[in-house]
Amino acid sequence: MSKEPIYLEKIQRSLVGRYRTERVFRGFGMLAVSLGLAAVLLVFVDIFIKGTGAFSATYIALDVTYEKDLLGIENLADQRQVNSGDWEALYKQALRRDFPDIRKRGERRKLYALVSSAAGYDIKDRLLANPGLLGSKETLWILADDDIDSYYKSWLDGNAYTARLTDGQIRVLDTLINTERMQLHFNANFLTRGDSREPEQAGIWGAVIGSFLTLMLTLVLSFPVGIAAAVYLEEFAPKNKVTDFIEVNINNLAAVPSIIFGLLGLAIFINLFQIPRSIPVVGGLVLAVMTLPTIIITSRAAIKSVPPSIREAALGMGASRNQMVLHHVLPLALPGMLTGAIIGMARALGETAPLLMIGMVAFIVDIPAGFMDPATVLPVQIFLWADSPERAFIEKTSAAIMVLLGFLVTMNISAVWLRKRLERRW
Partner 1 sequence: MHANDLLLLLLAFAAAAFYVGRGRANHIAKLAGGSRQLHSLPDYHGHYTALCCGLPAVLLLILWIIFSGHVISAMVLDSLPAGQFLGDPGGRELLANKIANIAQGVLPKANQPAILVAAAEELNRLTQISRWSVTALASCVSLVGLIWARSRITPELQSRPRVEASIKYALFFCACVAVFTTFGIIFSVLFESLQFFQSVPVVDFIFGLEWSPQTAIRDDQVGSSGSFGAVPLFVGTLLVSAVAMVVAVPIGLMSAIFLAEYAHKSVRAYAKPALEVLAGIPTVVYGFFAALTVAPFLRDFGQGYGFSVSSESALAAGLVMGVMIIPFISSLSDDVITAVPQSLRDGSLAMGATHSETVIRVVIPAALPGIVAGIMLAISRAIGETMIVVMASGLAANMTFNPLDSVTTVTVQIVTLLTGDQEFDSPKTLAAFALGLVLFLITLILNIIALKVVKRFREQYE
Residues 345-374, interacting with partner 1 (CB under 8 A): 346, 349-353, 356-357, 361
Closest to 295 measured CA to CA, from 216, 350, 218, 357:
218
- The amino acid at residue 183 is Q
Q: What are the beta bridge partners of residue 142?
A: 60
Name the residue nearer to partner 1 (CB basis): 196 or 352.
Answer: 352
Tell me the β-bridge partners of 56. Answer: 186
Q: Is 334 in the site for partner 1 (CB under 8 A)?
A: no
CA distances from 245 to 8, 233, 301 (A): 59, 11, 19
Q: What is the spatial distance between Cα 117 and Cα 403, in angstroms, rounded to a whole number? A: 26
Q: How far is the CB of 46 from partner 1 (least distance, A)?
A: 5
Report 94-133 residues binding partner 1 (CB under 8 A).
none
> Binding of partner 1 at residue 37 (CB under 8 A)?
yes
Q: Which of 56, 183, 305, 412 binds partner 1 (CB under 8 A)?
A: 412
Strand partners, 58: 184
- Contact between 197 and 388 under an 8 Å Cβ cutoff? The reply is no
317 binds partner 1 (CB under 8 A): no
10 Å Cβ neighbour count for 269?
20
* Closest CB 115 distance from partner 1, rounded Å: 28
The binder of partner 1 chosen from 220, 248, 372, 413 (CB under 8 A): 248
Report whether 368 contacts 282 (CB < 8 A): no
Q: How far is the CB of 384 from partner 1 (least distance, A)?
A: 10
Residue closer to partner 1 by CB (options 116, 352) is 352
Contacts (CB under 8 A) with partner 1, residues 254-293: 255-264, 266-268, 271, 273-274, 289, 292-293
Beta carbons of 395 and 202 less than 8 angstroms apart: no
The footprint of partner 1 on residues 167-226 (CB under 8 A) is 224-226
Nearest distance, CB of residue 15 and partner 1, angstroms: 9
Taking Cα atoms as reference points, which of 353, 381, 57, 51 lies closest to residue 205? 381
Those residues whose C-beta lies under 8 Å from the C-beta of residue 282, and which sit 6 or more positions away, are 265, 269, 270, 275, 276, 358, 359
Q: Which is nearer to partner 1, 26 or 185 (CB)?
A: 26
Smaller CB distance to partner 1: residue 55 or 232?
232
- Give the one residue of 8, 33, 313, 372 binding partner 1; rule: CB under 8 A: 33
CB 343 within 8 A of CB 426: no
Site for partner 1 (CB under 8 A): how many residues?
A: 86
In the bound state with partner 1, the residue whose beta carbon lies nearer, of 94 and 324, is 324
Residue 95 vs 207, nearer CB to partner 1: 207
From the list 8, 31, 313, 372, which residue makes contact with partner 1 (rule: CB under 8 A)? 31
CA contacts within 13 A on the Cβ side of 153: 23
DSSP state of 308: H
Minimum CB–partner distance for residue 315 and partner 1 (Å): 14
Complex with partner 1: residue 61 or 275, whichever CB lies closer: 275
Q: Using an 8 Å Cβ cutoff, are 363 and 384 in contact?
A: yes
Euclidean distance between CA atoms 223 and 72, whole angstroms: 58
Nearer to partner 1, 66 or 261 (CB): 261
Backbone angles phi, psi at 331, to 5 degrees: -60, -35
Q: 233, 217, 227: which is closest to 331 by C-alpha?
A: 227
Of 36, 307, 331, 370, the one binding partner 1 (CB under 8 A) is 36
Within 378-407, which residues bind partner 1 (CB under 8 A)? 379-380, 382-383, 386-387, 394, 397-398, 401, 404-405
Cβ 314 to partner 1, closest distance in Å?
14
Contact region for partner 1 (CB under 8 A) — 57-65, 173-181, 203-211, 314-322?
314-322
